[in-house]
Amino acid sequence: MKIDKIKEMSSPDLEKELGELKSELFKLRFTKKANGLDNPMKIREVRKDIARIKTVLNERKLNEAK
């Protein structure tokens, strides 16, 4: 997911997306341990998307506090 797309989303949508990505990450890790993944780089992509969303949410919280 690109940062531009993330910044366009509202905070509640980002919270929802964050939850979905965390559950997807759990499933990917579980599948990797159980029988391997076709694309192990998918875990890295999901982790980076989670980090991007958390960064945008923290930026918004800091701007609201000012």
**pLDDT value at position 49?**
97
What letter does residue 38 receive in the DSSP assignment? S
CA–CA separation, 17 vs 3, rounded Å? Answer: 13
Architecture field, domain 3-65: Orthogonal Bundle (1.10)
Dump pLDDT digits (tens) for 14-65. Answer: 999 999 999 999 999 999 999 989 999 999 999 999 999 999 999 999 999 9
| Cβ–Cβ < 8 Å for 18, 53 | yes
pLDDT at 1 over 90: no
> What are the structural domain ranges in the chain?
3-65
| Cβ–Cβ < 8 Å for 21, 50 | yes
**pLDDT value at position 30?**
95
Sign of the CA dihedral with 4 first, then 9, 13, and 14 last? positive
